[in-house]
Amino acid sequence: MSASELVEQANAPSAIAKESEAKRSFPKTHVNYWKARLEHRTYTRDGETCEVPEWSVRIHFGGIRKSFDLESGNREEAATKARDIYLSLVAKGWAATLAELKPKASLPIEITAGDATVGEFLAEVERTSSLKPKTFRRYAQCLRRVAAHIHGVRTDASRYDYRTGGLLAWRKQVDVIRLSAISPAAVADWKLDYLRRATNDARRKLAVNRSFNTWLRNTKSLFSAAIINKPNFKIKVPKFKVPDGQRGEREVYWFETVDFEKAGSMKFQAPVGITYEDLVKKALKELRSENSEAYKLFLLCMCAGLRRGEADVCLWSQLRPDDCSIRTSSSNRSMVRAALSMLIRHS
């Protein structure tokens, strides 16, 4: 199928009809009603229109219309939140609902040295730091995963179950773990166990090293001097005694004893003498007629900037010729701005 046929297919009225039918088929108390009304907010930066990955929804009730940020890139979770907001409006009205949704100021926590738990530490970081909510959630997730592994908390698919309480139950188990349990020796064991996933495959080893570095970097960011050394930070992060050669022992934080792994350069370096124009010309000559599927993958990766895994599972329905973009299915529902016009030009 050529790119021009793709454009015609994408403009077919079937998708619009299905969405319209979804909006009519369910009452406002049903999650699917709100699922069809979720939207991504947009903003302009450097002359380009960018899309916020988290879902939002506009709700009209009692003659008032407001837009709500649902703080989730998961469509099902966002639709559930939208439905709950509507039910709250029906039961309590606008004033009470908005008061409940307003972020509540956290109170300082007085903790003596060595007594702080993971949950108390995260609450204090959230209270005193200027981290964006999304960034803080990502950092907190990494710290909880490390603490769960060290303390032997069972980590399976149930911890993703936010609807029936699996996620909350898992967090409660992790949040009571003491910071003192995250010792240099325990973190070293976690690192070894994590790196064993690589086996003997060189490519797999590189991927595991990069993944480990991401987890470690995010976790260590919560313990940066800009956070834990603030005058209003009430929790004392424990230090540990470690051997120090001829000097005997020294006191360090756990994150000062673990190093990042070699992950190679993340920057693509083309072979000498190879240019973008040469690759496109050779693809047009060799792939377009002889191997059309490989040619499509080439265009998706080279012209649209998709990763190999994203290109492998990309569907025709994900291409949006109306705004020259491709929507990729990922955990945060990110938007990959694709040069679809280039794809059409080279087809």
**CB contact set of 146 (below 8 Å; sequence gap of 6+):** 182, 187, 190, 215, 219
Global pTM value = 0.53
- Long-range residue pairs from 50-59, CB within 8 A, at least 24 positions apart, any chain: 50/335, 50/337, 51/335, 53/332, 53/333, 53/334, 53/335, 54/78, 54/134, 54/333, 55/79, 55/333, 57/82, 57/85, 59/85, 59/86, 59/89
pLDDT level of residue 122 (50, 70, 90 thresholds): very high
pLDDT in tens, 146-155: 999 988 888 7
What pLDDT, on a 0 to 100 scale, did the predictor assign at position 103? 60
What pLDDT, on a 0 to 100 scale, did the predictor assign at position 202? 82
pLDDT in tens, 228-270: 999 999 898 988 888 877 777 888 888 888 888 887 776 766 6
Pairing verdict, β 48-61 and 39-45: antiparallel
Sign (positive or negative) of CA dihedral 208, 209, 211, 216:
positive
Q: Is the model's pLDDT at 9 over the cut of 70? A: no
Length of the chain equals 347
pLDDT in tens, 176-220: 999 988 999 999 999 999 898 888 888 888 888 999 999 999 999
What pLDDT, on a 0 to 100 scale, did the predictor assign at position 114? 52
pLDDT in tens, 126-136: 999 999 988 99
- The amino acid that residue 206 corresponds to is L
pLDDT level of residue 113 (50, 70, 90 thresholds): very low
